[in-house]
Amino acid sequence: MSMAVDSPARERGADSPPPPLPSLIGCDREEFARLCEELGEKPFRARQLWHWVYGRGAASFEAMTTLAKEARARLAARWGLARPQAAEERLSADGTRKWLFRFPDGELIETVHIPAEERGTLCMSSQVGCTLTCSFCHTGTQRLVRNLVAGEIVGQLMAARDALGEWAQPSRERRITNIVMMGMGEPLYNFENVAKALRIIMDPEGLSISKRRITLSTAGVVPMMARCGEELGVNLAVSLHAVRDELRDVLVPLNRKYPIAELLAACRAYPGIHNARRITFEYVMLKGVNDSAADARELVRLLKGIPAKTNLIPFNPWPGAPYECSSPDAVRRFAGIVNAGGLSAPVRTPRGQDILAACGQLRTASVRLRRSKGSISRGSLGVAPSPTVA
């Protein structure tokens, strides 16, 4: 994985402010225990601290009133509680909210909140940019790539909870009930950090979002799929997008490494799949490329025997994109065949279109920011799970 090469942080020069204290956000239970030991605190203090940080979202040590004043001061001298900074926040007419978050090194990612009737989904990023170069995804054309560390992943959720003002609310009233790792990046190419972050997020005494409400989307990093199921037990979504290797090699170049047959074998073996917890197969609808009736029939055939559902994603165009979105008729016909084959095939309606909260445009955003060092008017990722239109 290549690292950031020209981040703005390096351009700031010698008179820049001192680097922030390391953040406790992203530290796990073990690290909390070690830290309390170092400070000479009893082990139960680690649990209290955990609850303040992840359960209540305390933004300062001063607020942690069950800890002795002196302990709070010692913590504050060495640690921070900083979340990523929202460089921009935009709200769509349909309620979708999009944050552009900036990390201390100047790198940017986006996070999207998609409210629905019975739930609210936060679409989180796992990397700055992406190495996969899927030909229909704008993020894949972004030059700069680095992994996010666990704190930068957990921090997206915490900053979103801050912004929605929902720390004090009982969990049933919260607007973030579900998480999808479907933003920028390939989460299974950053597995250690993603796994650490998700374990923190799933902890029932902290952020407490159950694995049943978390979905990780992968383009098909076959060797990492079993670990994802075994160690995290989250729902899996697979970006399939094509039913023949020749086409998938072009749309999702990772297919050259892990072709369809190997990918589907890994899906069949995904730990813990059964009919109540199916694998979601994402399929972007590209006009004249992968949207024929024959493609739909082949999709049904390929997925036979796998507890599966499909998600048909209308292609979100971006400047210079070599594809167009399938016509509504083609999408309906495709969904009809897949449905008739016994698979649920909802069509995801892009949400937040007025604020361009659609897949694959983030590169535009970061490039513009770099050029102008001003605010950003375009860009995002993420599509909303939504009822079928078929």
CA distance 159 to 156: 5
Q: Cα–Cα distance between 296 and 153 in angstroms, integer?
A: 36
Q: What is the DSSP letter of 183?
A: S
Stretch that binds ligand SAH, among 6-14, 51-59, 134-142, 200-208 (CB under 6 A): 134-142
The answer to whether residue 359 forms part of the interface with ligand SAH (CB under 6 A) is: yes
SS3 381: coil
83 contacts 66 by C-beta, under 8 angstroms: no
Q: Does 121 bind ligand SAH (CB under 6 A)?
A: no
- Tokens 């820049």 locate to 16
Could you list the active site residues? 110, 359
Taking the complex as a whole, how short is the minimal distance between the CB of residue 176 and ligand SAH, in angstroms?
Answer: 18
Q: Are 108 and 366 in contact (CB under 8 A)?
A: yes
Q: What are phi and psi of 176, to 5 degrees?
A: -110, 105
- Choose between 48 and 218: whose C-beta lies nearer to ligand SAH: 218
Residue (131 or 292) nearer to ligand SAH, CB:
131
Q: Which is nearer to ligand SAH, 33 or 359 (CB)?
A: 359
The binding track of 283-302 with respect to ligand SAH, each residue x by CB under 6 A or -, is -x------------------
Closer Cβ to ligand SAH, 82 or 184, answer by number: 184
Decide: is 110 part of the binding site for ligand SAH (CB under 6 A). Answer: no
Name the segment binding ligand SAH (CB under 6 A); options: 17-25, 196-204, 312-320, 332-340.
Answer: 312-320
Any contact of residue 239 with ligand SAH (CB under 6 A)?
yes
Q: Which stretch binds ligand SAH (CB under 6 A): 10-18, 40-48, 64-72, 313-321?
A: 313-321
Question: How far is the CA of 84 from the CAs of 107, 171, 179, in angstroms?
Answer: 10, 23, 18
* 137 forms part of the interface with ligand SAH (CB under 6 A): yes
Among residues 33, 82, 182, 355, the one that binds ligand SAH under rule CB under 6 A = 182
Which phi and psi (to 5°) does residue 94 adopt? -90, 10
Nearest-5° Cα angle at 167, 166 to 170: 80
In the bound state with ligand SAH, the residue whose beta carbon lies nearer, of 185 and 206, is: 185
SS (H, E, C) 213-250: HEEEEECCCHHHHHHHHHHHCCEEEEECCCCCHHHHHH
**What is the contact mask toward ligand SAH in residues 316 to 345, using x (rule: CB under 6 A)?**
x-----------------------------
Which letter, b or e, does each residue of 305-343 get, where b requires 16 or more Cβ atoms within 10 Å of its Cβ? Answer: ebebbbbbbbbbebeebebebbeeebbbbbbebbbebeb
Q: Are 321 and 361 in contact (CB under 8 A)?
A: no
DSSP state, 12?
Answer: S
The span of 20-28, 68-76, 133-141, 263-271 binding ligand SAH (CB under 6 A) equals 133-141
List contacts with ligand SAH (CB under 6 A). 134, 136-137, 182, 186, 217-219, 239, 282, 284, 313, 315-316, 359-360
